[in-house]
Structure formats: structure tokens, C-alpha cells
Amino acid sequence: MNCDKYNELIHQSLDGELNSSEQGVLDAHLESCEDCTMKYEELKMLKEVLDEESLLELPEGFKAELHDKLMKEDQPEKPSFFKRRAVQNTAIGLVAAALAITVVLPSALNGMPSYQTEDAIEYGESRAGTDKNAVAMDASPAPTITFNESMEMENANFTVTATGMAVEEAAEEPAAPMMESVTKDSLRDESSETDHLNVNERKVIKNGEIVLDITDYDAVFQSIVTMTETVGGYVHSSNEQLQYYNRHSEDDPLKYGFIRVRVPSDMFSSFMEQIKEHGVVTYSGSNAQDVSYQYRNAVSEVQNLEVTERSLRDLMAKAEDIDDIIYIERELMRVRSEINMYMGSIKQWDDLASMSILSITLNEVEILDGEVKPIDDSLWAKAKNALINNLNGLTRFAEGIVIWFVATLPLLIVLGVSIFIIYKLLKWIIRKLFN
Amino acid sequence: MSDIEKKLIKKSMNGDVASFETLINQYQKYAYNIAYRMMGNEEDAKDAAQDALIKVYRNLHTFKMDSTFSTWLYRIVMNTCKDALRKRKDQVVSLNQEIETNEGSIERQLSDKEADPLLIYEKMELKEEIGDAINQLKAQHKEVVVLKDLLGYSYDEISQIVDVPIGTVRSRLNRGREQLKDILKSNMGALRRQYV
């Protein structure tokens, strides 16, 4: 019988690639051909054996060795790379220093807070390559957004007093969220603080959460940090703690931790997917809040208030009566603080929308579920497991005895010595008695 | 290829080792497993896998950003293994050599007739011998069997990694599986006869 043409079919059938008519042709042949049936069954068995082969874990020290070897590799074009970085840094440092001086000197000379200087400060470490400016902001109550407190804290760091203290505070901030600059001069020019804002695009605040089971906490943590910085984000906060003892190695307990990062919104989804690759995802979720409506409202409110403010100022110029002046002054202050309140919210929305927040919980485990070898249910395996358990129990018992013995040893020694002494004493007493 | 991967590749090309390690993090385990199945033992696998990854690092500038990074990486791993196999002086037992070089030789046919079908063995017994059996395959058959049946890549991906048309992949795979079956049968048969 010429079975060559059925050979191909057999392999395709094992790969699940035959449609029902082709499978029918094969089955019909198999019914009458013992050799082919044998071959089919054997190949099927073989495929099952191969399928059940599991992946090996990387051997210990693999990554460390590889790291050493990589570090020995020649760095490409090192000099120019360094030069670029160094030059960039010194340039930014000089600019920052120059600006600091221009802010500090005038007010130091005048001895008075100056509301007229532009509070624009650049700092170094601009990973995304954009300018970051600090803003004068009073603490403004934000509308209902999650992470309210943390955002307010960040904003508080940017409170600028024109004495130049802001420069130091701002300069210490490692990587700040992007913020728009505010120039108070512009008020007098009949333009609005909101001119630079784009009200036509949607303002969507994205948040995400992932809970991961991983096997190497430190490596995964470092990888997340590197990835975050690569896309131009930053680590907002993190913490870690130790879990119960890892019974396989007492000096290496498992870790459990949390890291919250902020990444640019356009990278958010691909970033989340990349994070998920690090281990087994036990929980993942994300949500998006569309605040475009509130945003536009706030912007138009600001514009209205500015109109009010301008008319008040005009009134102020014409006013002559002291009572009137005081009243207008009070109104001006009220309007101004309302404007600031809205601007505060607007800036917060801008910040949240441009940089999404991802919260990652890392749970270190010994073995990831997806890689546990298939459970062998045969009688032999069960017996083997039971035997191993008993042996372990015996070993633990023996260990316990040894430990107890060593621990009690001093006591035993003292006991032994005192018994010995008593014994000798008794003998001496008895001798004395009978002499 | 994701944006993040592209950025990591660019940074690695500039000598940023940390970015490179993040980049290859998800592929290292598969690379090691490919090497293990090709080389047959853990020590050689570790060397081959590390050498391959270093080659990847060195040659990043030759990678065209349009294709998939993973298939490019695995191709380098595969080629590194095949080079290492060629250099290695195989101490192959003469019986097996005859099976390899003379496809369908009398030697093998004889052992076919004597060998019991695979089905009489427990899967566990077969699993013990499978590693050795895979090792005895010729390189071009071994690579497709490893990639398809052990690691689960698709015909498409294998065609890209090994750089041959899909039809060739199929025929090599079929040949490889049948050879593997015959090798297993003669190995198991030989083992069994030892205890008789």
C-alpha cells in the first residue's frame, strides 16, 4: 500500500490543521492500514510527551554573569556621548544659576516681595527634553479626583515666594510634572491667563492598577524604574516589605511591595502591557475620567472672573472715597482668589491628563503558577511524595532534638558538674561517717 | 514592535546596559531553553545563550526596526547554537551514527522490527529518554522540532527565525518527528533489552 501521501496528512492532523473532510479521508485510510495507524498513534504519543516538557528556569547566576560580560563590552562612541551629557548639564546648570541670581538680586536689593517678576525657572534633568517651570500657586482645593492629597503635596512644593527660595525648592525636585507658566504681567494686557490652554481637546485622566506575582523582586523593580524613565515618566512613590520566611532559604524572605509611577498618557496602554510581561497578572484594571466638561467650565469661569477683575480695577482707578477704595480692594482680592482656585484646578487637570498614574503591586513568590510542572497523579508519585513528607518530618524531628540538645547543653553541663560535686561530697561525707 | 521596545533598543545601542537588560528580560528564558534543547546540556546551553545575547547586544545597530525583535533575537540564538554544535566534537556512538547518516538504513530497519511500539511504555519512561533522543537529531531537524513541538512557535515564526520557506519547515518537521520516534524506539528497546 502506498502510504506516502497519507504521511503528510498524519502530521497535519496531529497539528490540528485538517478540516473535517480531510480528516475523514485520513480516518478512512487508518481504519484499513495497520502500519499507518501504528505510526499515527506513536507520533501522537510522541507529541504528547513533547508537549508536556516544561520550560527550564534560568540557572542561578545567569543574569549576573551576563551582566558582567555586557559591562566588559566596548561602549560605542563613549567620548561623544559623555561630552553631550556633560555639556548639556553644565549649560543647564549655568542657566539655572543665572536665573537664580536675577531673581534673588532685585528682591534682595529692593527688600520687598516683587509681584512683577516672571517666575519662570528651568532645572536640569529634563529627561523628556522639555522645559519645566515652577508656578506661583496658593493651595487650591481641587475637585473630586483621586490621589487628591498627593497632588496637593506636590503642588505645595512649588509655592514660590519671590525671594528666590523657590529656586532651591524647585531645584531639589528630581523630575516634576509639566506645568504651564503664569505671568502676572499678562493681566494688564487684556489677555487671559487661560490663553495658552487648549480647551478643544478632550481632557482624560487615565489611571491603572496591576497586581503581579513575580519571582525576582529587585530585578523587576529595577526594570520597572528603567522602563518608566525611558518613556519619560517618573516614580511617584514606592514601598516594600518582607513577607513571612521563605522556607527554602531563611536569609532570603520574599518581598511584597508597591510602586506608583507616572507616565505620559500616550504611552499609557503600551506601558501597562509591558509591565504585565514581568510576571503573572493576578489583577489588572484601568479607568479613564473625562473631565473635559468641567475643564471647559473652569476655563470660562476664569475668563468671566477676569473680566470682572478688569472692571474692578478700572473702578479703582476712578474711585476717590476711602470707603469705596477699601470695598473695591476687598472685591478684587476675592475675585483674584477665585481665579487662582480655578487655575489651580485647571493646572491639576492638565497635569493629571498629561501624565497618567499606574499603581503596581508586586508580590514575590517562589514559583509562578504558570510554570509549575504538571501534577503527576500516579500511585508511584503519590507514594513518593508521602515518603518524602515523612522523611522531612523525621529530619525535622531529628533537627529539633539536636537543637534542643545544643541549647540545653550549658544547663546540662552545670547540672552535670553540680551532680558530680554532690556525688563527691556525699562520698566524702559517707567516708567520714564510717571512719 | 512597541514604542517602549524601540526606545529601549535605541538606548541600548548607545551603550546603556540597564536598558538592554530590561529589553531582553522577557526573552532570556526562551533563549536559554532553545539553547538547552539544541546543545543538550545546561552548561553548554548557558554559554551558548549568553554568547548569543552578547552578539545581540553588539549587533543591535544591524537590526532593522521594521521586523520583530524577538524573531531576530531567536535567530541569533539558533545560529549561535548551530555554530557551537559544529565546533563541538561529537562523541556519537556508532550505532546512532549509522541511524543518522544512512536514512532508512538496514540498521535502523532491523531495530524497527525488533523494537516494541512506543505505546507500551509509560509516558514517564519516555520523558526520561526524550532529552537524549532529541540530542541525536541532526541540527536542521532538531531546530524545527525544538521550536514547534517543544516551545510552541507557529510555522510563520519558525519560518522567520530559521529563514526558510514554510513548506521547508513543514517537511523538516515531519522528518524530524519521524526520526525522533525511531530514535526513541531503538533507545527504549535497547534499554529494555539491558534488563532482560
pLDDT digits (tens, 9 = 90+) for A155-192: 434 333 333 333 344 334 443 343 334 444 444 456 77
**What single-letter DSSP state applies at residue A117?**
S
* Interface with chain A: mutation pick from B1, B11, B33, highest number of A CBs within 10 Å: B33
State which residues of chain B have pLDDT below 50: 91-113
How many Å apart are CA B174 and CA B63, to the nearest integer? 32
* B75, B56 contact by CB (below 8 A): no
Confidence of residue A382 (pLDDT cuts 50, 70, 90): confident
Distances (CA, A) of B99 to A262, B89, B133: 60, 18, 12
Closest CA to A52 of B26, B38, B124: B124
pLDDT at A353: 86
Confidence of residue A53 (pLDDT cuts 50, 70, 90): confident
* A13, A26 contact by CB (below 8 A): yes
Residue A260, pLDDT above cutoff 90 = yes
Closest CA to A12 of A25, A1, A2: A25
Question: Mind telling me how many Å the CA of B75 is from chain A's nearest CA?
Answer: 19
Q: Where are the beta strands (DSSP E) in A50-179?
A: none
- Say if strands A255-264 and A234-242 run parallel, antiparallel, or are unpaired: antiparallel
How many Å apart are CA A208 and CA A332, to the nearest integer? 42
Q: Hey, which residues does A256 pair with through a beta bridge?
A: A241, A363
pLDDT at A166: 36
Cβ neighbours around A163 below 10 Å, total: 15
How many Å apart are CA A134 and CA A69, to the nearest integer? 43
Helices (H), A15-126: 20-32, 34-52, 62-72, 78-110
Q: Which H or E run contains A285?
A: strand A280-290
* A275, A359 contact by CB (below 8 A): no
**Are A45 and B123 in contact (CB < 8 Å)?**
yes
CB-nearest to A270 from B2, B42, B177 is B2
How many Å apart are CA A74 and CA B15, to the nearest integer? 8
pLDDT at A324: 84
Please report how the helices B28-39 and B42-58 are oriented relative to each other, as an axis angle in degrees rounded to 10.
Answer: 130
**What single-letter DSSP state applies at residue B150?**
I
- Percent of chain A residues past pLDDT 90, beyond the cut: 21
What is the tens place of the pLDDT at every residue in A265-282? 888 888 998 888 888 899
pLDDT at A52: 86
Cβ neighbours around A198 below 10 Å, total: 9
Question: Mind telling me how many Å the CA of A248 is from chain B's nearest CA?
Answer: 22
pLDDT at A149: 40
Distances (CA, A) of B130 to A15, B63, B91, B173: 20, 36, 19, 16
**A290 or A375: which leads in pLDDT:** A290
**Are A63 and B21 in contact (CB < 8 Å)?**
yes
- Region A182-203: mean pLDDT is 64
**What single-letter DSSP state applies at residue A370?**
G
DSSP B84-129: HHHHS-----HHHHHHHHSTT-HHHHHHHHHSPPGGGS-HHHHHHH
What is the tens place of the pLDDT at every residue in A118-156? 433 333 333 333 333 333 333 344 444 444 344 444 443
Q: Hey, which residues does A264 pair with through a beta bridge?
A: A355
Least confident range from A22-31, A81-90, B67-76: namely A81-90
pLDDT at A86: 66
**Are A230 and B28 in contact (CB < 8 Å)?**
no
For cell 492638565, name the residue.
A350
Give the residue from chain A lying closest to B126, CA to CA: A49
* Alpha carbons within 13 A on the beta-carbon side of A376: 15
How many Å apart are CA A363 and CA A98, to the nearest integer? 47
| Average pLDDT of every residue of chain A | 76
* B147, B158 contact by CB (below 8 A): yes
Q: Hey, which residues does A285 pair with through a beta bridge?
A: A209
* A167, A100 contact by CB (below 8 A): yes
pLDDT at A138: 37
* Interface with chain A: mutation pick from B77, B118, B175, highest number of A CBs within 10 Å: B118
How many Å apart are CA B57 and CA B72, to the nearest integer? 12
Q: Give the three cell numbers for residue A251.
A: 536569609
Q: Give the three cell numbers for residue A88.
A: 548639556
How many Å apart are CA A269 and CA B3, to the nearest integer? 11
Question: Mind telling me how many Å the CA of A387 is from chain B's nearest CA?
Answer: 19
**A141 or A61: which leads in pLDDT:** A61
Q: Give the three cell numbers for residue A367.
A: 514559583
- Region A405-433: mean pLDDT is 92
How many Å apart are CA A181 and CA A134, to the nearest integer? 7
- Percent of chain A residues past pLDDT 70, beyond the cut: 72
CB-nearest to A230 from B4, B30, B58 is B4
What is the tens place of the pLDDT at every residue in A280-295? 899 989 888 888 888 8
* Interface with chain B: mutation pick from A35, A41, A46, A368, highest number of B CBs within 10 Å: A46
How many Å apart are CA A121 and CA A131, to the nearest integer? 9
**Are A56 and B32 in contact (CB < 8 Å)?**
yes
How many Å apart are CA A193 and CA B93, to the nearest integer? 85
Amino acid at A94: L
Residues of A in contact with B50 (CB under 8 A): 62, 65-66, 69
pLDDT at B50: 94
Question: Mind telling me how many Å the CA of A155 is from chain B's nearest CA?
Answer: 29
CB-nearest to B184 from A38, A46, A58 is A46
How many Å apart are CA A273 and CA A291, to the nearest integer? 25
